[in-house]
Amino acid sequence: MFSIDDLKFNEAGLIPAIAQDAENGQVLMMAWMNRESLEQTLACGECVYYSRSRQALWHKGETSGHTQKVVSMAADCDGDTLLIRVRQKGAACHTGERSCFFRPMMEDAEAVCGDKTMSEEFAVIDDRYRNPVEGSYTNYLFDKGIDKICKKVGEEAAEVIIAAKNRSYDEVRYEAADLLYHLMVLLREQGMTLEDIYAEMVSRRH
């Protein structure tokens, strides 16, 4: 196991730390840590950074409530950069965006990627569950409870069947997306994740 003593801090006594969403792998932000902030992070289990502008420790989410619970931490091969997998509460960026990296500089060649799209959608649903947003349809479903959610799953499943019987590609695509969304809402209400379902599917392989 790497220790703090094994790390290579720069001439200012700092080391870059990259925060990554433990749920879907999204890179959330990059900030700096010094030895003291790193020690506090390890001690309290939430990210504590060092603000170069204020020259002070910065407990992420201390005022906004958008904390980062540490799931794991690793140093890179040179020991001069940290990767911290976190459970992000709310937005990681001060602008209100989930991730600080929201300004594309080129087209995403893998914009439609099954696992990534599902994970990102589930992350939004999970965030709505933890941090309700007024007017959100997802929060409407959570507020109505399990009976309403189950009813919607049943309705959407029936719509998929009807679309399939109609041999309509567009209808099947549309209704299947609705079904998957409502099914993910159901999973979150049950306290489950996509990984729970993936593990079950893997266990059935022959």
pLDDT in tens, 3-46: 999 999 999 999 999 999 987 788 999 999 999 999 999 999 99
pLDDT of 154-170, one tens digit each?
999 999 999 999 999 99
Does any domain span residue 50?
yes
Amino acid identity of residue 110, one-letter, is E
95-109, 161-175, 186-200: the lowest-pLDDT one: 95-109
Residue at 104 is within a domain: no
Classify residue 37: in a domain, yes or no: yes
Percent of the chain with pLDDT over 70: 95
User: What integer pLDDT is reported at residue 137 of this predicted model?
Assistant: 95
Q: Is 99 part of any domain?
A: no
> Does residue 68 have a pLDDT over 60?
yes
Same domain, 122 and 199: yes
Within this chain, do residues 135 and 70 fall inside the same structural domain, yes or no? Answer: no
Number of domains forming the structure of the chain? 2
The set of residues, in sequence order, having a beta carbon less than 8 Å from that of 41 and lying 6+ positions away, is 33, 47, 48, 70, 73, 84
Name the residue with tokens 């489950």: 192
What is the average pLDDT across 96-115?
A: 74
Residue 107 has pLDDT above 80, yes or no: no
Q: How many C-beta atoms surround the C-beta of residue 44 within 10 A?
A: 13
Q: Could you tell me the CA-to-CA distances from 25 to 28, 85, 88, 119, 201 in Å, in that order?
A: 9, 8, 11, 9, 21
Query: 23 in a domain, yes or no?
Result: yes
Same domain, 81 and 121: no
Q: Are residues 74 and 143 located together in one domain of the fold?
A: no
Same-domain check for residues 191 and 135:
yes
Where are the strands (E) in the chain, listed by range?
14-21, 27-34, 48-51, 56-59, 68-75, 82-88
Q: Which of 53, 88, 123 is the last residue of a domain?
A: 88
Domain end marker among 88, 103, 129? 88
Is the residue at 109 inside a domain?
Answer: no
187 and 153 in a single domain? The answer is yes
DSSP codes joined into one string, 4-24 = GGGS---TTSEEEEEEEETTT
Please check whether residue 103 lies inside any domain of the structure.
Answer: no
Is 140 domain-assigned?
A: yes
Angle, to 10 degrees, between the axis of helix 169-189 and the axis of helix 137-144? Answer: 50
Q: Which residues pair with 27 in a beta bridge?
A: 20
pLDDT digits 0-9 by tens, 75-103: 999 999 999 999 999 889 988 888 999 88
The CATH number covering residue 193 comes to 1.10.287.1080
Please list, residue by residue across 157-193, b when 16 or more beta carbons sit within 10 angstroms of its beta carbon and e when fewer do.
Answer: bebbeebeeeeeeebbeebbebbbbbbbbbbbbeeeb
Residues 140 and 191 in one domain: yes
Determine the structural domain holding residue 46 and report its residue range.
4-88
pTM for this one? Answer: 0.57
